[in-house]
Structure 1
Amino acid sequence: MSRLAAAALRGALTASGARSCSISVAFPSASSRLFSTDASGAVAGSQDDSSSGEGHTYGRFYTNISGVGRLGKNMLKTDIIHYLDQCELSLDDVKIDYNKGFYPMGALLKFPSVESFEKAVRQTIQGRMYRLERVSPDEWEHKISLNGKAVLLQGVPRNAQVDDIERFLCGTNYEAPPFENSIRAGVPEPVRMVLVKFGSRTDATNAFIAKNKGFCLNNPVTMRVIQ
């Protein structure tokens, strides 16, 4: 082999070795970025998102009595919050689910995280009095809550007019009519119910304290704050 050919061969081998070396160094650095636990890494970021529990989780809470599936009619939002005292719930995180007769069938709850929901599940299992099942965000969003700013009058005379009801409510900060009227079955006759809205929870509570078991056209009227 001529000296010129030998020199050319050595140059080619040297260049090839340099490229192989540079490639072998580049691959490990790319792999280390891919599997890094740093939050800036793509895989690490997806792992953090899946395990962080961030974002709201929703549930339905109701009694564990077989065949009933509802709440006690006198149960308050605060009762539920105190029962699930490990879950960081506020009044705005609870919506009472009423049927057409304004009997509470359960409560929709908004938890701040998956972890908070799981704590609530453990508490209900340990207590055995209630059940908690997961529901979709849509069920929460579509449920309208009166949020303690309404009072249900029960036993209003069938012949009572709007001005009769307003006289009964005199001295309270109720919202102007129209009022929402409904009838439920009762003994010995159906019971007329009137839903009255107020500007705040405090106004509704004060009206209940002042007027519960008062008389409208000589009929006793019981009241209940609707949450």
Structure 2
Amino acid sequence: MVLKGREIKPKGSVYGRVSNITKFTTKSDIINFLEGCNLDPRNLKVEYTRTYLPKSMMVEFPSRAAYDAAVKSINRKGRLFNMIKADKAQWDITAPYDGKAGIPRNALIDDVERFLSGCQYDSSSIQMFVRPTDQGPIRMALVRFPSQALAMHAYITKNRGFCLNNQITLQVLH
């Protein structure tokens, strides 16, 4: 927009969607890759498929200049990731999973609590549900941890453990 010979730049957040991420890509990886954009983990949300595989990462840039710096950074570093501009509505509908771990389960809530004994988590947050897969439906649980560090502690100490004679696979959702 031009007004009396001066350009007025819009202020506020600009949103982008970073694709080509893998299940091992973390928020820290994206923050380091987009250096100089003034980002922190609260500016990122991971988008997951129905089976909780990461498909992209939504990024909230504090300004248009930060978004432009990110585009330049991606071009300069060889396009390891791709980024397109996104709407605020897309940012708003992306659920943040900070500190949650998905646990495929064949158990009751009491069994999940026993499995997670010794870990610090919010016991009132346990959500259990069924996900359809090609091999048939699997039962899963989402558990909220107070921090990402405590979720990683549960992953390190409990992943591949057994609950009701079934091996449990944990996944930390960002």
Rounded Cα–Cα distance in structure 2 between residues aligned with 1:74 and 1:211: 19
Residue 194 of structure 1 is matched in structure 2 by 141
Alpha-carbon distance between aligned partners in 2 of 1:180 and 1:80, rounded to the nearest angstrom: 31
Matched, 1:139 2:87: no
Q: CA deviation at 1:215?
A: 0.8
Q: How does 1:142-221 map to 2 (within 5 A)?
A: 142-147=93-98, 149-154=99-104, 156-157=105-106, 160-177=107-124, 178-185=126-133, 190-221=137-168
> Quick one: which amino acid aligns to residue 129 of structure 2?
N
Q: Secondary structure at the match of 1:185?
A: coil
Corresponding residue for 1:105?
A: 55
- Work out the CA distance in 1 between the residues paired with 2:97 and 2:83: 22
What pairs with 1:14-53 in structure 2 (closer than 5 Å)? 43=4, 47=7, 49-50=8-9
SS in structure 1 at match of 2:122: coil
| Higher CA-based Rg | 1
1:125 corresponds to which letter in structure 2?
Answer: N
* 1:120-164 Cα deviation digits (max 9, x unpaired): 1122234222211111112212322122x101113x22xx22211
Distance of 2:69 and 2:49 partners within structure 1: 28
Q: 1:192 to 1:74 in 2, by over 3 A?
A: farther
Give 1:32's aligned residue: none
3-state DSSP of counterpart to 1:179: strand
Q: Report the counterpart of residue 20 of structure 1 in structure 2.
A: none
CA contact (8 A) 1:125 1:131 kept: no
* % identical equivalent positions: 31
- TM-score normalized by the length of structure 2: 0.86
When the two chains are superposed, the root-mean-square deviation of aligned CA atoms in Å is: 2.1
Report the CA distance between 1:205 and its aligned residue.
1.9
Matched AA of 2:17: R
How far apart are 1:176 and its partner, in Å? 1.9
Higher helix share: 1
CA–CA distance in structure 2, aligned partners of residues 74 and 186 of structure 1: 23
- The alignment partner of 1:222 has SS state of coil
| Offset at residue 192 of structure 1 (A) | 2.9
- Where structure 2 has 5 or more consecutive residues not aligned to the other structure, the ranges are none
- After TM superposition, the structure 1 = structure 2 runs for residues 84-123 of structure 1, keeping only pairs within 5 Å, are 84-123=34-73
Q: Residue 12 of structure 2 corresponds to which residue in structure 1?
A: 55
* Structure 1 gap segments, 5+ residues each: 1-41, 64-70
Sort the Cα spacing of 1:205 and 1:180 in 2 relative to 1 into closer, same or farther, 3 A.
same
Higher normalized strand content (fraction of residues): 2
Structure-2 separation of matches of 1:184 and 1:171: 31
Say which structure, 1 or 2, has more relative contact order (CA 8 Å, 6+ apart). Answer: 2
The CA distance in 2 between the partners of 1:182 and 1:124, in whole Å, is 38
TM-aligned CA deviation for residue 86 of structure 1:
2.4
